[in-house]
Homo-oligomer: A and B are copies of this chain.
Amino acid sequence: VPAATTPIEFLRTPVTEPGRTLLDLIEARLPDIAATAAANDRHSTFPFDVFSSFMASGVMGATVPAELGGLGVTRLHDVATALLAVATADASTALALHMQFSRGLTLSYEWRHGAPQARDLAEKLLRRMAEGKAAVCGAVKDHPAAATELSPDGAGGWVLAGRKTLVSMAPIGTHFVVHAWTRAGSGAPVLAAAMVPRETPGVSVLDTWRGLGMRASGTFDIAFDQCPLPAENVLIRDTVGKRDDSVLAGQTVSSITMLGIYVGIAQAARDATIESIVERPSAPPAAVRTLAVEIDASLYALRAAAGAALANADAYSADLSGDPSERGRRMMVPFQHAKLVVNRLARTIVDDCMTTTGSRSYSIDHVLSRLYRDVRAGEFMQPFTYVDGTEFLSSQLFGLGRDNNYMSVRARTAAERVVG
């Protein structure tokens, strides 16, 4: 089969063997995931059993390098394809699972390209993930009430204080990778990442999730009350406010596979709708025929846009030869174009599906009423929201200077509040 045929399988067929293995493992669990999705959504219950099976089967180590015992899935396309499959059964489960896959990818990068300290830390964690013993949550967004800050403890270690919000998969999280800032030394505020085991004194996992949708994703707050951390658990990053577009590469890798989740939601909505029409005895009326075609055409565009951005990110992810800042922009710009398209079209598709299906879809017992709430989360996933994405993309287009690192921007805001 010639190479150019690949895209017809965008987000349907994995492009690597490890990706195929992962999808097989996941497909075996889809009936179970689907069976409890409605009830978990109703009661905002995390799917513990599903994740136990993921721990046991190796799914939780999917993006861990094979050398460290994982499945060795490296292609973002294949990760997104797996998340898409999960999302057709339950988007909340997919969102939580994304946490683990994303950490696997970024820790693998540290393990391959990082400084010695980062490599050691990454290897330890990755091995535990592969063994099904570590569930690693990224903790990026500060709670509005508290910036998260690292301070030297005076003995070579650190103390972490603050509170993070919107941490998915928190109910089973064993480790938290916490983005914080520190005023170490006399210089400017500096970004840092801290690896915080759940059992660290002062860590509280707070069941605070009040989302309109994605209700079974275990998206909690984590509070840090003067948590002691050894030196090796803290990685110092960039100076706050340094305009360094190279970080856009890592941010793309961290987040782009979430596109698969929203494609999965749209696909699930479409399938439920077409099935229900086919079952009816009478011929479909004019508006149903027209809407069904609109839905399928939108789904085609959404899949193609997401697939293209994922393939683009895979290509640049594998190629470290060029200018790092340029590489960052070349990954982030198409990701943001695709994100804008996917978020909008996925919403349009779910909405059109409700129109096509009719009033029964308004019941909380109908799958479309869950998808209608879940799909709205897409636009708020970082980076970027529509408003911030428009700032970023139009600045790129018109050459307007700007700090594109949203973590730095947030840290600066926090730092300014604290430092004054």
Complex interface: chain B residues within 8 A of A400 (CB): 283
Flag A307-321 by CB within 8 Å of B: 1 or 0 each: 111111011001100
A47 at the interface (CB under 8 A from B): no
- Complex Cα distance, B310 from A312, in Å, reads 18
Q: Mark A287-308, 1 if CB is under 8 A from B, else 0.
A: 1111111001110111111011
- A15 to chain B: which residues have CB within 8 Å? 2-4
Binds B, one of A24-32, A84-92, A236-244, A356-364: A356-364
Residues of B close to A156: CB separation below 8 A = none
| A83 contacts chain B at the CB level, 8 A cutoff | no
The minimal Cβ–Cβ distance linking A249 to chain B, given in whole angstroms, is 15
Q: Is A373 an interface residue (CB 8 A)?
A: yes
Per-position 1/0 for A342-386, Cβ under 8 A of B: 000101000100111011001111000100110011011000011
The answer to whether A293 and B4 have CB atoms under 8 Å apart is no
Contact indicator A362/B338 (Cβ below 8 Å): no
One of B289, B363, B390 near A212 (C-beta < 8 A): B363
Task: Determine how close the nearest CB of chain B comes to the CB of A37; give it in whole angstroms.
Answer: 16
Are B8 and A6 in contact, CB atoms less than 8 angstroms apart?
no
Q: Which of A211, A309, A337, A385 has the most CB of B within 10 A?
A: A337
**Once the chains bind, are B394 and A286 in contact (CB under 8 Å)?**
yes
With a CB–CB cut-off of 8 A, which chain B residues contact A212?
362-364, 369, 372-373
Q: How far is the CB of A308 from chain B (nearest CB, A)?
A: 4
A334 contacts the other chain (CB 8 A): yes
Distance (Å) between the CB of A226 and the closest chain B CB? Answer: 28
Chain B residues whose C-beta falls within 8 Å of the C-beta of A201 in the assembled complex: none
Q: Across the interface, do A372 and B363 meet the contact criterion of CB distance under 8 Å?
A: no
Cβ of A166: which chain B residues have Cβ within 8 Å of it?
A: 359
- Tell whether A340 pairs with B297 under 8 Å between CB atoms, given A334-B8, A390-B287: yes
Cβ of A289: which chain B residues have Cβ within 8 Å of it?
A: 286-287, 290, 390-391, 394, 398
Render A209-243 as a binary contact track against B, CB cut-off 8 A, 1 for contact.
Answer: 01111000000000000000000000000000000
Chain B residues within 8 Å of A302, by CB = 301
Alpha-carbon separation in the docked complex, A394 to B293 (Å): 6
**Which of A213, A291, A296, A358: most chain B Cβ within 10 A?**
A296
- CB pair A300 B305 closer than 8 Å: yes
| Chain A interface residue count, Cβ-Cβ cutoff 8 angstroms | 87
Report whether B387 and A287 are in contact in the complex, using a CB–CB cutoff of 8 Å: yes
| Cα–Cα, bound, A409→B274 (Å) | 24
Residues of A242-293 whose CB lies within 8 A of B: 274, 277-278, 283-293
| A362–B376 touching, CB < 8 Å | yes
Interface assignment of A341: CB less than 8 Å from any CB of chain B: yes
Residue-wise, chain A 4-37 has the 8 Å CB interface mask toward B (1 for contact) of 1111101000010000000000000000000000
Beyond known contacts A212-B364, A285-B390: 18 more, CB 8 A cutoff: A1-B318, A1-B319, A4-B315, A5-B311, A210-B363, A285-B388, A287-B386, A287-B390, A292-B394, A293-B393, A297-B340, A300-B337, A301-B304, A304-B307, A304-B338, A358-B385, A362-B380, A372-B376
Query: 16 pairs across A/B with beta carbons < 8 Å?
Result: A3-B6, A4-B15, A5-B311, A7-B10, A7-B307, A8-B311, A8-B334, A211-B363, A286-B287, A287-B293, A297-B341, A301-B345, A303-B308, A307-B308, A355-B379, A373-B373
Task: Write the residues of chain A forming the contact surface with B, with a CB cutoff of 8 angstroms.
Answer: 1-8, 10, 15, 75, 77, 166, 210-213, 274, 277-278, 283-293, 296-298, 300-305, 307-312, 314-315, 318-319, 334, 337-338, 340-341, 345, 347, 351, 354-356, 358-359, 362-365, 369, 372-373, 376-377, 379-380, 385-391, 393-394, 397-400
